[in-house]
Amino acid sequence: MTMRTRPAEIGDDDLEPSDASVLLQRQIEVLALVAAAAPLKETLDAVIVALEDLMPGARCSILIADATGSALRHGAAPNLPAVYLRSIDGIRPGPKAGSCGTAAFLGKPVVAVDVRTDERWTDYRDAAIHSGLVACWSSPISAPSGEIVGTFAVYHGQPHRPSDREGRLVNRFTYLASVAIEHSRLLGELVESEELFRRSFDDNPLGEALLQLDQRFERVNAAFARLSGYRPDELVGLPLDAVLHVDSGTSTRIQAELLSHAADCVTQQMHLQCKEGQLRPVEATISVIRSREGLPSRLALNLIDLTERLAAEIDRRARHEAEVARQIAEEHSNAKSNLLTSVSHEVRTPLQAIKGFTELLATLDLDAPRRQEALARINFAADHLLDLVTDVLDISRTEAGVLPLHVESVAVDKAVRQVVPLLSSAISDRDVSIRLLIEPGVTVRADRGRLHQILLNIIGNAIRYGRRDGNVCVVATPSPTEVSIEIIDDGPGIAAEYLPRLFTPFARAGGTTGPSAPVDGYGLGLMLAHGLVTAMDGVISAHNSDGGGAVFTIVLPRTDDVSSPRS
């Protein structure tokens, strides 16, 4: 049981002059042993011998509480029988644990005038009587904190009640024992702490250093020396920035943060200047060490070598980039193959029409109406071929960054209203309603003809891929710097797996579902639209709305009055 009591105060006013003189001399001798860090047993033996000299016929012992405070262990008793000391070694505090165990339990002195009749001595009576011990008076020894750290016992060979003089002497020597025990504990903790620091500092595989407050090295461990290439003694006294590359502004900021309690530690990537001259990337953590008063006394520095980590990261990034490049090259190769296949298919159909109608004109004598129809079919096929070739050339130019543009201020509402009538045939075939939500006067910086081309493609797709008898809505939303044009349909939307590659050549929309899903694909149109928008410093994207339809968004720079050709 742990009890707390106030340590006895030292004073000589209530002692006999002869006792006071001897006590002072003995106290000086004991304190000299304490100051010299003598072994605790030697110091406690001196305390006991001093008291026994002042109390003839008395024999004394000191028991010390173990680390848990649950038992009392032998400390010193130079004149007590060993057999008796063994019997009480490890005694546990309690209400009937002899004089010492009871004193530690109660936290106050316990006097057993005659152990042969004292009920508190039941368990230890025989051992005491066999050792010639009849009376025992024990006082608890308290640390400065008030914690019971041991007991001081005085034995006599006959029944004995302590006098006032003996009580005063025991109080003084109990306090001396308390000083000796507390000093021994503090010294032991200090030695243990020093050993723990030495092991964790010197044997740490990470580079560690202690710095003075002016950021000069005071001590470094072996790992720091190996990392820097310097011997430890070469680093002592050097300023931190002699080996660690950190600009003066950063150094001042770090020290200010640490010393002002703004941060417990500061971690930053730096470079270590090795003795051989090479720079080694490190992660440096600087923390402040404070004194008992809470004032900064030193700085602690920890270094982690990042060389292997950064090399591994560079290697991982290089392998990732190589893999991405390989995938892109493979995708480009596949895209080119698909482009050639699709273009050849698109070219073959109108060519067959031209060839067929040309043979028809050459072999048959057609009347005027049929002749006009054949010529019209030839002309339509030729226009389709021309548009296809133009689209392919435009895609090539956008990828090469050489597409000629005439950038000017274009009114969005006028551009849309000029495009919609061109799609009247498709609108009529699918019975689609077109809604325009565009404020007049909103202008963008764009090539007028290319913007028409983009809108024709996107709005045309919305009509073809939207719901039959449905709606297509065109919304323009201006901001201070740009205009967002959204084309929204109410169709089944675009399958999720096609969205990431929607703007690659001939990406098909066959993933759409529902009764109105078309069978033909997007072709070159979206890829060309993407290239044209990008060439005009804009952005085009697509997603599915919450209602399921597709939403294409074109964002172009807003302007009030721009007219500057660009090629």
For 247-266, what is each residue's pLDDT tens digit? 556 656 666 666 665 667 78
Query: Is 562 exposed, middle or buried, given 0-12, 13-18 or 19+ CB atoms closer than 10 A?
Result: middle
Label residue 362 by pLDDT band (50, 70, 90): confident
CA distances from 486 to 350, 447, 462, 494 (A): 33, 18, 11, 16
Range of the domain at 363: 313-400
The mean per-residue pLDDT over the stretch 141-153 comes to 89
- The sign of the dihedral angle between the CA atoms of 27, 30, 33, 35 is negative
Does position 189 have pLDDT exceeding 90, yes or no? no
**Confidence at residue 201, expressed as pLDDT on a 0 to 100 scale:** 82
**Residues 168, 67 share a domain:** yes
Same domain, 50 and 122: yes
Q: CATH number of the domain that 278 lies in?
A: 3.30.450.20
Q: Do 271 and 130 share a structural domain? A: no
Tokens 């050709």 appear where?
565
Q: What is the DSSP letter of 522?
A: -
Residue scoring higher pLDDT (21 or 340):
21
In a domain, 12, yes or no: no
The per-residue pLDDT for 345 is 59
* The pLDDT value given to residue 397: 63
The encoded tokens of residue 7 equal 């340590």
Choosing from 285, 305, 325, the residue where a domain stops is 305
Band (pLDDT 50/70/90 cuts) for residue 521 is: very low
Q: In terms of domains, do 327 and 465 share one?
A: no
Of 141, 155, 139, 137, nearest to 184 (Cα)? 141
- Tokens 């505090």 correspond to what residue? 93
Position 387 pLDDT exceeds 70:
no
Give yes or no for a contact between 100 and 63, defined as CB atoms under 8 angstroms apart.
yes
- The pLDDT tens digits for 302-358 are 888 888 888 888 889 889 888 888 887 777 677 666 666 666 656 666 777 777 778
Q: How far apart are CA 185 and CA 174, in angstroms?
A: 16
Phi, psi torsion values for 269, nearest 5 degrees: -80, 130
pLDDT at 105: 93
**Quick one: average pLDDT of 457-465?**
89
Q: Are residues 156 and 75 in the same domain?
A: yes
User: Where does the pLDDT of residue 277 fall: very low under 50, low under 70, confident under 90, or very high at 90 and above?
Assistant: confident
> What is the pTM assigned to this prediction?
0.45
Q: Does residue 437 or residue 523 have the better pLDDT?
A: 437
- Name the domain boundary from 138, 172, 192: 192
Residues 359 and 437 in one domain: no
Q: Which pLDDT does position 335 carry in this prediction?
A: 64
Q: Which of the two residues, 308 and 7, has the higher pLDDT score?
A: 308
* DSSP annotation of 526: H
Residue 263: inside a domain: yes
Whole-number pLDDT of residue 146? 84
Strand order in the sheet with 433-437: 433-437, 471-478, 482-489, 550-557, 539-544
Has residue 473 got a pLDDT over 90?
A: yes
* pLDDT > 90? residue 77: yes
- Listed in sequence order, the residues at least 6 apart from 534 whose beta carbon sits closer than 8 Å to its beta carbon are 398, 540
Q: How open is the CA angle 489-492-494, to the nearest 5 degrees?
A: 90
For position 396, what pLDDT does the model report? 64
The pLDDT confidence band at residue 106, using thresholds 50, 70 and 90, is: very high
Q: Is the pLDDT score of 550 beyond 80? A: yes
Comparing 122-136, 268-282, 313-327, 400-414, the range with the smallest average pLDDT is 400-414
Domain annotation covers residue 56: yes
Between 557 and 359, the higher pLDDT residue: 557
Regarding predicted confidence, which is higher, 546 or 62? 62
The 3-state DSSP composition of the chain as helix, strand, coil percent (nearest 5) reads 45, 25, 30
Q: Are strands 265-273 and 482-489 parallel, antiparallel or unpaired?
A: unpaired
Residue finishing a domain among 192, 215, 239: 192
User: Residue 349: what pLDDT?
Assistant: 66
Give me the CATH number covering residue 39. 3.30.450.40
Helix runs in 36-135, H state only: 40-54, 82-88, 98-106, 125-130
Q: Is residue 271 part of a domain?
A: yes
C-alpha–C-alpha distance, residues 62 and 45, integer Å = 9
Mean pLDDT value of segment 399-423: 83
pLDDT score, position 488: 93
Contact in structure between 167 and 152 (CB atoms under 8 Å)? no
Proportion of the chain above pLDDT 90, given as a percent = 30
DSSP conformational letter for 423 = G
Do both 351 and 429 map to the same domain?
no
How much is the mean pLDDT over the chain? 82
Q: Choose between 515 and 534: higher pLDDT.
A: 534
One domain, residues 296 and 381: no
Residue 157: pLDDT band (50, 70, 90) is very high
Residues 259 and 358 in one domain: no
Q: Within 13 A of 563's CA, how many CA atoms are on the CB side?
A: 2
C-alpha distances (whole Å) from 418 to each of 186, 196, 456, 478 are: 94, 84, 10, 20
Q: Alpha-carbon distance 122 to 114, whole Å?
A: 12
Neighbours of 376 (CB within 10 A): 11
CA atoms within 13 A on the CB side of 412: 28
Is the pLDDT score of 297 beyond 80?
yes
pLDDT in the model for residue 7: 42
84 has a pLDDT exceeding 60: yes
9 within a domain of the structure (yes/no)? no
β-strands 244-245, 433-437: how paired?
A: unpaired
User: What's the Cα-to-Cα distance from 156 to each of 79, 186, 412, rounded to whole Å?
Assistant: 12, 33, 115
Under the banding of pLDDT at 50, 70 and 90, the label for residue 518 is: very low
Q: Clarify whether residues 265 and 360 are in a common domain.
A: no
**With bands split at pLDDT 50, 70 and 90, how would you rate the model's confidence at 112?**
very high
Decide if 64 contacts 181 (C-beta within 8 A). Answer: yes
Q: What is the number of domains present in the chain?
A: 4
What percentage of the chain carries pLDDT values higher than 70? 81
DSSP state of 92: P
Per-residue pLDDT, 493: 87
The reply to whether 479 falls in a domain is: yes
CATH number at residue 345: 1.10.287.130
- 528 contacts 398 by C-beta, under 8 angstroms: yes
CATH code of residue 517 = 3.30.565.10
Q: At what angle do helices 368-400 and 525-535 cross, to 10 degrees?
A: 50
Same domain, 511 and 480: yes
Q: Hey, what's the torsion of the CAs at 99, 101, 105, 106, to 10 degrees? A: 10
198 part of a folded domain? no
Rounded Cα gap, residues 251 and 264, in angstroms:
15
Q: Is the pLDDT at 267 greater than 90, yes or no?
A: no
Q: Give the bridge partners for 148, in sequence order.
A: 142
> Is residue 395, in this structure, part of any structural domain at all?
yes
Order of strands, sheet of 563-566, starting from the edge strand that comes earlier in the sequence: 443-447, 405-411, 563-566
Please tell me which residue, 76 or 192, carries the higher pLDDT value: 76
Q: What is the structure's pLDDT at 562?
A: 43
Q: What are phi and psi of 7, to 5 degrees?
A: -60, 145
pLDDT tens track for 425-437? 889 889 999 999 9
Q: What is the pLDDT of residues 197-255, one digit of tens each?
A: 778 888 888 889 888 888 899 999 998 988 888 998 998 998 888 888 765 566 566 66
Residues 44 and 183 in one domain: yes
432, 471 in Cβ contact below 8 A? yes
